[in-house]
Structure formats: C-alpha cells, structure tokens
Amino acid sequence: MAVYYVEGGNCLFGECEIQGSKNAVLPLMAAALLNEGYTVLHNCPNIKDVHYMSDILCDLGCKIWHDKNLLIIDATEISPGAIGGESVSNVRASILIAGAMLSRVGHVMIGLPGGCRIGERPTDFHFDAFEKMGVSIIHYEDGVECECDRMKGCEINLPFPSVGATENIILAATGAEGITIINGAAREPEIVDLCLLLQQFGILVEGAGTSRITIKGSKGLTGGDVAHSVISDRIVAGTYAYAAAAAKGCITCKINNLPMMESILNPLSLLGCKIEYGNDYFKVTCHEMHNGLGSIVTAPYPGFPTDMQSQLMSVLVTVPGKSVIEENIFEKRYHIAGELAKMGACIHIKNDIAVIEGVDCLHGENVRVCDLRGGAALIIAGLCAKGATVVDDAFGYIDRGYENIVGDFTRLGGCIQYE
Ligand code: EPZ
C-alpha cells in the first residue's frame, strides 16, 4: 500500500543514475540456480520483485546476501521442493525457476506466476517447448509439476518472440543433452544480459539478441564464483526521459548500454525534444512539443516497447493535435486512460487503438494505480498537471520496479511525496 502526493508545475533539471534492470536481474537470479557456487550480481536494483525472487531462491535452499545494489547468491547446495505462495504469485518471472530447476535437478513443482494484470498472459509457449524437450508436465489448478531425467536438445519455433518463454527455454536447454535451437526468439537486451552470465558459467550459447539462439547443454555447472553487473533499466530511464518531456526541462540519465534506448527516445525527438548522447549518458531537453505524434505501435524489441506505452500516453495527452497508439503486445494495457481522463485528458480507446487529442493541460486529481508502468505514468501526469494529484497505489505496484522514483524525481526538481 502506498500513496504518492504530486504537485505539478515544476520543470525537471539535473542528473540521475539509472538503476539496474528489473527485467534483467530476475532471469539472472533464476540462472544463479544453475551455478553450484557463488553468483555475485552488481548494480542489482533494490526493488520488491528482487526481494520476492530472493525468497523463492531461499525456499530452494540458496543462501543470499543483499546489500543495497549488491546481491550474492550461493547455490552450491539446493533443496528442491514445491514453491508457491505470495512470492511466486506476485512475480511473473518466477516461472523462470522452472527452466533453471529442470536443468539443475530435472524436476520442479511451482505455483502459477503472477505479475501485472495487463492481459491473460498464458504460459503455453513455455510448456509446449519443455514437452518437446522430453519433459512430462502435470497441470494442477494452482500450479504445474515438470519432470525429466535428461532433456533432449531440439529445434523450437516460437509462435511469438515471447521474452519469458525465450529465457525459460534457454535456462532449461543448459541442462539438455545436445543442442537446442530457438527460432523466433525474443531479442531484448535483458536476454543478451542473461546469456552473458550463462557464458561466464561455461555454457555455450550463441545468437543472443537475434531471433535464432543456440544453446549447447551440459550437466553439473561448477562455474565457481562468478560476478556480473546487471544492465541498466531502459524502462526506468525512459520513464524519467518522458517525465522531462511532459513537465519540460533538461535531464541527464547515466546509463550503461545506450543503444537499447533508441526506440524509446525516438518518439521524443519526433515531438521536438533535443536528445544528446555521451559515452555513458543521454540528455533530454524539452521546452515545448510540436503537434501530435501520428501513430506509435508497440512491438517486440527493437520496436517501441509495450512497457513504455503508458508513459508515452501521459506525454501525448498535452501535445497539441492528434496522436495514435497501437498496443500490439498485451490486450489490457490501457488501464490508465480512464485515470488520465479524470485529469482532463481526451482519449478514445477502441480495441487495441488509443486516439489522443491533446489538451492544454491536465488538472490534479485522485487517481488509482492498476499496474507497474501505469503507476509510473500517472506520476508523470501528476508532475505536469496543474495542482495536486494523489496517486493511490493500493497494491504497491510502483516500488516493485522503481528503486527510488520519489527520490529521483525530487532530485530533479519534482514536487512529490510518498507515504
Ligand atoms: C516480459 O514479460 C516483461 N517482464 C514484461 O515487462 C514485458 O512487458 C514483456 O516481456 C514484453 O516485453 C519481465 O521480463 C519480468 P512475453 P513476459 O512472454 O515474458 C504472449 C514490466 O512492466 N504469450 O514477451 O510475460 C503474452 O500473452 C513487465 O516490467 C503467450 O501467448 O511477456 C503477450 O501477449 C510487464 N504465451 C506476448 O506473448 C506464452 O507462453 C508477450 O509476452 C507467453 C507469452
């Protein structure tokens, strides 16, 4: 339960260091189960989802030390057992434990994954692939049991470049006999980061970042003590950049892996913001925004990410003219349209299309958070609205993914408090 009090009207100026990526560190934590040794993760974001995932690893017998942005996982000894409860039901990425445990011990019994309610979010791609690798699967009402003494590598064609399914198949394939090829794989930077860690464990994995990934399985990884630094969170960086566009100002975000920001920052350039790049930062300057954006379509990486769609909507509602967003990844990701309408926005939703007519300005309101990125988007709206906005995050979505959104926006000149 959390409530954010935002007073709009301040422009944003200054510099912030972008946290490690939530969607990179969660698969990295699952991968640590493969290593019969210590896995040390630097630049680990201090967020609720990491704590949930740590609880799951501890339930499996891992020893964990977490000191702000350093996470040490000792998976030398694990004690396989059924895992479920709040940690599993809250975090979508808990499903990645399945692939890792199948590789390590050939068995897993796990509750159904949770995550933001932005659509049905089925898991058929994951388990269809496991079955093709020889895994026997029993589906229960509240979970699934998977078993296989020795998975066989094979060629898997994903019907859609699912991030989680790609990651889960990679993790399982590390323990399969022979070669596994994933065609139609997701290309997200977070998958590249996962494969970098697996290579440090001594696993032969090639093609990460492309749509064809090849993994050569091997048993009993004693990678020894491996250290890895988590890539920056491109969605958090994009959230702050979009806040600077909506509230106007000039901010610098320090971030590793700049090329992954391209599809996120391009729309801001089209809207008239100035984007500058350095070795380890980008700078966004925005004094005013030109007419509407035409049409933006969410797509798998390297397309415009669905995780930035709500934040983009919060920017476009005060851009003169008409803009159109097409959400192609999830079927229920327009929750915030109704909340922005309460603040004076003019948005028409029809199926997966949102048509936005820019208004002069929003006014402060009491609004409700329905998912992680929508919550961050409502804070952006509050920062650029006239008056005070109360963002009611009853389920604590925002701090599942943002390490210090209040501190960061305060440091940049925003007027925001939190209780
Ligand atoms: C990951 O979710 C991210 N989460 C999401 O970020 C992100 O929005 C999503 O990828 C897309 O980029 C993490 O990495 C922890 P998918 P994931 O499998 O893996 C369908 C955030 O805010 N599908 O790529 O669950 C699915 O319904 C979160 O940080 C199947 O049909 O997403 C969706 O329409 C939100 N069957 C599409 O594929 C399956 O078996 C993409 O889902 C799997 C997926």
Each residue's pLDDT tens digit, 217-228: 987 666 689 999
pLDDT of 222: 64
Ligand 1 within 6 A of 335 CB? no
Among 23, 94, 96, 398, which residue has the most ligand 1 atoms within 8 Å of its CB, making it the best to mutate? Answer: 23
> Beta 70-74 vs 38-42: how paired, if at all?
antiparallel
User: How far apart are the CA of 343 and the centre of ligand 1, in A?
Assistant: 29
- The mean pLDDT of the chain is 95
pLDDT of 220: 64
The count of C-alpha atoms lying within 13 angstroms of the C-alpha of 235, restricted to the half-sphere facing its C-beta, is 26
Output the pTM of the full model. 0.97
Q: Pick one of 2.120.10.30, 3.40.50.300, 3.65.10.10, 3.40.50.2300 as the CATH number of 22-215+222-229.
A: 3.65.10.10
Residue type, 26: L
C-alpha dist (Å) from residue 49 to 90, 195, 410: 8, 21, 23
Contacts of 170 (CB under 8 A, 6+ apart): 99, 182, 191, 194, 195, 198, 205, 213, 215
More confident site: 57 or 86:
57
Closest residue (by CA) to atom 21 of ligand 1? 307
Q: Which residues does the annotation mark as catalytic?
A: 116
Are the C-beta atoms of 277 and 305 separated by less than 8 Å? Answer: no
* Maximum distance among all Cα pairs of the chain, rounded to whole angstroms: 63
Check residue 36 and report its DSSP letter. S
Q: How confident is residue 395, by pLDDT bands cut at 50, 70 and 90?
A: very high
Q: Cα 126 to the chain's mean position, in Å?
A: 18
C-alpha dist (Å) from residue 306 to 11, 229, 283, 313: 26, 25, 22, 11
Helix (H, G, I), strand (E, B) or coil at 72: strand
Per-residue pLDDT tens digits for 268-315:
999 999 999 999 999 999 999 877 788 999 999 999 999 999 999 999
Check residue 19 and report its DSSP letter. P
Ligand 1 within 6 A of 170 CB? no
Q: Where are the domains of the chain?
A: 2-18+232-418, 22-215+222-229
Residue 235 has pLDDT above 70, yes or no: yes
Element (H, E) at 27: helix 22-31
User: How far apart are the CA of 285 and the centre of ligand 1, in A?
Assistant: 32
Residue 123 has pLDDT above 90, yes or no: yes
Q: What's the mean pLDDT in 153-167?
A: 98
Beta bridge partners of 331: none
Ligand 1 within 6 A of 373 CB? yes
pLDDT of 292: 76
> Do the domains 2-18+232-418 and 22-215+222-229 sit in the same CATH topology, yes or no?
yes
Beta bridge partners of 92: none
pLDDT of 223: 64
Write b or e for each residue in 369-404: b if 16 or more Cβ atoms lie within 10 A of its Cβ, otherwise e. Answer: bbbbbbbbbbbbbbbbbeeebebbbebebbbbbbbb
Which of 356, 332, 335, 353 has its CA nearest to residue 345? Answer: 356
pLDDT of 221: 67
Tokens of 277: 């790049």
Per-residue pLDDT tens digits for 70-108:
999 999 999 888 888 888 888 999 999 999 999 999 999
Which of 93, 150, 155, 80 has its CA nearest to residue 121? Answer: 93
> CATH topology for 2-18+232-418?
UDP-n-acetylglucosamine1-carboxyvinyl-transferase; Chain (3.65.10)
Atom of ligand 1 nearest to the CA of 160: 38
